[in-house]
Chains A and B, each alone.
Chain A
Amino acid sequence: MSTGDHMALEVSGVTKQFVKSEGPRWPWKRNANGRKPVVAVDHVSLQVRRGEVFGILGPNGSGKSTLVRCIATLLLPDEGHISVFGHDVLREEMAVKQLINRVSVEASFFKKLTPMENLIYGARLYGLDAREARARALEVLKRLGLKREAIFQPMEEMSRGMQQKVAIARAFLTQPILLLLDEPTTGLDPRSKREVQAFVEELRDTHDTTILLTTHDMQEADALCDRIAILDEGRIVALDTPAGLKALVPGTNGHAPTLEDVFMELTGKQLVKEEEDE
C-alpha cells in the first residue's frame, strides 16, 4: 500500500449533521418541523503530518467522535473530503481501512471470549497469519501489563482498564500507520491511564505511526500531542502546538497559562468531567 509523500490525514471542509425526530410518536403525524437537523461537525479542516501525534480537545457533544467515525469510514460526511495518506475515504475505502485502526472510549469485544481469541479474530480480519498474530499479541499484552493468565480468561472477568489495554493491543496488532485514539483513557484509573499514555509515547517514539488522539484530559493532550485542535460545537476554534495555544491567553495570578485556561477562554465553557460519556 503506497503511502508516498502525502499528509497522513487531510480533512477538508467536512460537515456532518444528523436529523433528530421530535414531536408525535408516529412518523406520518410528524410534519417537517418535527425533523430537527443537528450539526455535529461543521466545516472542519485540518492536516496531520506523518509521525505526528495530533490532539483534538473538546467538550462532550463537540463532534470529536463523529469526526473520528468519518475518518474511520464508519460515517459518510455530508460535505467535504477526507484522505488518509492520499487515499479518499469514500472512493478508496478499502485502501484506507488497511492503513487505519481505532480505539474508542468503549472497549468493544466479545466479552465471553478471551483477549487472545478476540485479538486473533481481529488479526484474521486484517489478513494476518494467526501464529504470527498470537506471538505478537502476547508480546503487546505483556508490554501493556497484562498477566499471562488474564490473556486466556474471558474478557467479562477483566476490569475496564484492562479491557481498554486489550483494545489498544488489538489496534496495534494490525500495525496501522494512522491510529485513531478516541478518548482511550476516559474512565481509567490513574495507573492504567499512565500505562496507556506511556504506550502511546512509545508508539510515537519507536514506530512509524501517526496518531489522532481525542481527549478531555488537558494534561494528557499537553504531554502527548505535537499539535492540538480545539473543537467546540462542531467547529475548530483554535489549532496550534500546545505552547502556541498557551500563548493565546494571558496567565492568571502570576501563573503561566495552561491548556485548561486556553480551553475556557476560547469556548467559554467549563471542562466536562471525564466520567461523563460523550
Chain B
Amino acid sequence: MAQLIGEIRASYAFVERNFNLVKRYWGWEVVWLAYSIANALSITFIAAGTEAVTGQAIDTNHMILYLLVGTLVWHYLAVVFDNVSEMIAWERWEGTIEYTFMAPISRFTHMVGQTLFSLVYGLLHTGIILGVVALFFQLDLSGANLFGGVLTLVAGSLSFIGLGIVASVLPLLFPERGAQMTHVIQALLLLISGVYFPVSVLPEWMQPLARLSPATYVLEGMRAALLDGAGTGTLLGHLGRLVLIGVVAIPVGLAIFRQAEKYAKRTGKLKRSG
C-alpha cells in the first residue's frame, strides 16, 4: 500500500510540475492557443469556401464539421503525442534528465504522470478551440453525440500514448536532433489517417496503411459521433479497436523505451550534452 501511495505521489509530481510550467510559460500558452485557433479556423474556412471555389452546391455545414473534426482530432492527438514524446527532450534541455532517471520510480509511473497531464491539457485545449470555432461558424451541434466524441478521443489517446513513448526514444538516443525526428512520425500519421479527407481517396497501396493508424479509427468514430450523431453503443466497435491498439502499443512502447534507456546508460547519452 505504501509503495502504491509512493507511486501515485510520483506520478502526480509530473502532473503538478507540468502545470506549474504552463503557468510560468503563460505567454507561450496564449500564443500557442491563438495559433491553434487560427489554424483550426483557416482549415475550416476551406469548407466554407468550397462552394465558391468549385461553383457546385455542397452541404457546407457538413463539410465544415468534417474538416473541424479533422483539425480538432489532429490537434488533440498531436498535443498528446508531443507531450509524451518531448518529455525526454524537455528534461534534457532543462538539464534535469539525470535527476529524473536517478529517482526511485518505475518508467511506467513516469509515463503515467506525463500522459495524465497531456490528456488533461489536450482536452482543455481542444475544448477551447471547439468552443471558439463553433461560435465563429454558428455550428449546430444539437444532434452531435459529444459524450461519444470525447470517449473516442480518450480511447484514441491510449494508442497515441504508446506511439509517443516509442517516439520519445528518439530524443533519448539522438540528443541533438531527436526531438525533431519525432515530427516525421506525426507527418506520416497525418498523411495516411484521413485527417482532412476520406481514406478512400488515397492511392490503393496506401489504404491498408491507414488501417494500421489509430488516428483513422479516432476520426471515423468522432465523425460518426459529431456529424451523424451516432449513439455511444454504435461507437463500441471503434472504441474496442482503439483500446486494443492502446493496450498493445503502451507495453510495446515501454519495452522499447527500457531498451533505449539501457543503451543510453551504456553509451553515456543520458548526460545533458550527450
Q: Which of A100, A124, A154 contacts B12 (CB 8 A)?
A: A124
Q: A258 an interface residue at 8 Å Cβ cutoff?
A: no
Are B13 and A108 in contact (CB-based, < 8 A)?
A: no
Q: A106 an interface residue at 8 Å Cβ cutoff?
A: yes
Are B98 and A97 in contact (CB-based, < 8 A)?
A: no
Scoring A residues 73 to 104 as 1 if CB is less than 8 Å from chain B, else 0, what string do you get? 11110000000000000000010011011101
Are A108 and B99 in contact (CB-based, < 8 A)?
A: yes
Mostly, the B contact residues are helix
Across-interface contacts of A97 in B (CB, < 8 A):
102-104
Q: B5 an interface residue at 8 Å Cβ cutoff?
A: yes
Scoring B residues 233 to 274 as 1 if CB is less than 8 Å from chain A, else 0, what string do you get? 000000000000000000000000000001001111011100
Q: Which of A104, A121, A154 contacts B17 (CB 8 A)?
A: A121
Across-interface contacts of B16 in A (CB, < 8 A):
120-121, 124
Name which residue of chain B comes closest to A128, CB basis: B9
Q: A53 an interface residue at 8 Å Cβ cutoff?
A: no
Contact count band on B: 20 to 34
Across-interface contacts of B205 in A (CB, < 8 A):
none
Across-interface contacts of A101 in B (CB, < 8 A):
102
Q: B39 an interface residue at 8 Å Cβ cutoff?
A: no
Q: A126 an interface residue at 8 Å Cβ cutoff?
A: yes
Bound together, the chains give a CA A127 to CA B113 distance in angstroms of: 13
Bound together, the chains give a CA A72 to CA B96 distance in angstroms of: 14
Bound together, the chains give a CA A127 to CA B10 distance in angstroms of: 6
Bound together, the chains give a CA A141 to CA B267 distance in angstroms of: 36
Are B98 and A124 in contact (CB-based, < 8 A)?
A: no
Whether A127 touches B24, Cβ cut-off 8 Å, given contacts A108-B95, A122-B99, is no
Are B24 and A112 in contact (CB-based, < 8 A)?
A: yes
Q: B25 an interface residue at 8 Å Cβ cutoff?
A: yes
Are A113 and B24 in contact (CB-based, < 8 A)?
A: yes
Are A74 and B9 in contact (CB-based, < 8 A)?
A: no
Are B268 and A108 in contact (CB-based, < 8 A)?
A: no
Are B98 and A108 in contact (CB-based, < 8 A)?
A: yes
Across-interface contacts of A94 in B (CB, < 8 A):
104, 106
Q: A109 an interface residue at 8 Å Cβ cutoff?
A: yes
Name which residue of chain A comes closest to B5, CB basis: A127
Bound together, the chains give a CA A69 to CA B267 distance in angstroms of: 12
Bound together, the chains give a CA A97 to CA B105 distance in angstroms of: 9
B57-105 residues at the A interface, CB under 8 angstroms: 94-96, 98-105
Q: B21 an interface residue at 8 Å Cβ cutoff?
A: yes
Q: A125 an interface residue at 8 Å Cβ cutoff?
A: yes
Are B10 and A125 in contact (CB-based, < 8 A)?
A: yes
Bound together, the chains give a CA A67 to CA B24 distance in angstroms of: 36
A-B contact pairs, 22 of them (CB 8 A): A66-B268, A69-B98, A69-B268, A73-B101, A73-B265, A97-B103, A100-B102, A104-B98, A108-B94, A109-B95, A110-B94, A110-B96, A111-B94, A112-B21, A112-B25, A113-B24, A122-B103, A124-B10, A124-B16, A125-B13, A128-B9, A170-B99
4 nearest CB pairs, A to B = A127-B6, A124-B13, A108-B95, A97-B104
Starting from the known contacts A112-B21, A117-B17, 10 additional A-B residue pairs (CB-CB under 8 Å) come to: A69-B271, A108-B94, A113-B20, A113-B24, A121-B16, A125-B13, A125-B104, A126-B10, A129-B9, A130-B9
